[in-house]
Amino acid sequence: MKNKDRNNYVIKVYKYIFGQVIYLAVSAAIAIFTLFILRTTISDFQHLPIIRQLVHLFLYMKNNYIGDFITYSTIVFILTSCIYLILTHNKVKNIALLMESVEIMASGDLDKRIDVNSDDDIGELSRNINHIIEQLENKTVEERKAQQTKTDLITNVSHDLRTPLTSIIGYLNLIEEDRYKDEVQLRYYTNIAYEKSKDLNILINDLFELTKLQNNTLPLNKIDINLVELVSQVISYLGYQLSEVNMEIRPQFSNDKLIVNADPDKLVRVLENLINNAIKYGSDGKYIDIITKKESNKAVVEIINYGELIPQSDIPFIFDRFYRVEKSRNRNDGGSGLGLAISKNLIEAHNGNILVESNSSKTSFKIILPIE
CATH code where residue 321 lies: 3.30.565.10
Domain match, 122 and 174 both? no
Distances (CA, A) of 188 to 153, 174, 333: 33, 11, 19
The answer to the question of residue 362 being in a domain is yes
Q: H or E stretch including 64?
A: helix 49-64
In a domain, 73, yes or no: yes
227 and 210 share a domain?
no
> What is the value of pTM for the model shown?
0.56
Q: How far apart are the C-alpha atoms of 202 and 180, rounded to whole Å?
A: 29
Contact present, 369 and 296 (Cβ < 8 Å)? no
- Note whether 202 and 299 are same-domain residues: no
Per-residue model confidence (pLDDT) at position 289: 93
Same domain flag for 45 and 131: yes
Query: Would you say residue 145 lies in a domain?
Result: no
Any idea what the CATH number is for the domain that residue 159 is in? 1.10.287.130
Q: What is the pLDDT of residue 70?
A: 56
What is the number of structural domains in the chain? 3
* Nearest of 202, 180, 177 to residue 191 by alpha carbon: 180
pLDDT tens for residues 161-197? 787 888 899 989 998 888 888 888 999 999 999 988 8
Domain containing residue 26: 2-138
pLDDT of residue 328: 46
Q: Which residues of the chain have pLDDT under 70?
A: 1-21, 23-24, 26-28, 31-76, 79, 83-85, 87-92, 94, 109-110, 116-120, 149-150, 152-153, 156-157, 159, 321-337
**C-alpha closest to that of 266 among 350, 362, 200:** 350
pLDDT given at position 52? 55
Residue 208: per-residue pLDDT? 79
Whether the Cβ atoms of residue 310 and residue 358 lie closer than 8 Å to each other: yes
At residue 60, the pLDDT reads 58
On whether both 126 and 264 belong to a single domain, the answer is no
Q: Are 235 and 329 in the same domain? A: yes
Residues 124 and 196 in one domain: no
Same domain as 123, residue 13: yes
For residue 144, being part of any structural domain is answered with no
Q: For residue 227, with 0-12 CB atoms within 10 Å meaning exposed, 13-18 middle and 19 or more buried, which class applies?
A: buried
Asked whether residue 241 is domain-assigned, the answer is yes
What separation in angstroms does the CA of 187 have from each of 113, 166, 171? 70, 18, 11
**Under 8 Å between Cβ of 277 and 342:** no
Domain boundary among 111, 138, 165: 138
Q: Distances in Å between the alpha carbon of 183 and those of 27, 197, 271?
A: 107, 21, 41
Within a domain: 188: yes
Q: How far apart are CA 187 and CA 167, in angstroms?
A: 15
9 plus 46 within the same structural domain: yes
Q: Are residues 231 and 307 in the same domain?
A: yes
In terms of domains, do 156 and 98 share one? no
Q: Does residue 26 lie in a domain region?
A: yes
Picking from 88, 118, 138, the residue at the C-terminal end of a domain is 138
The Cα 129–Cα 120 span in angstroms is: 14
Is 242 in the same domain as 366? Answer: yes
Note whether residue 143 is domain-resident.
no
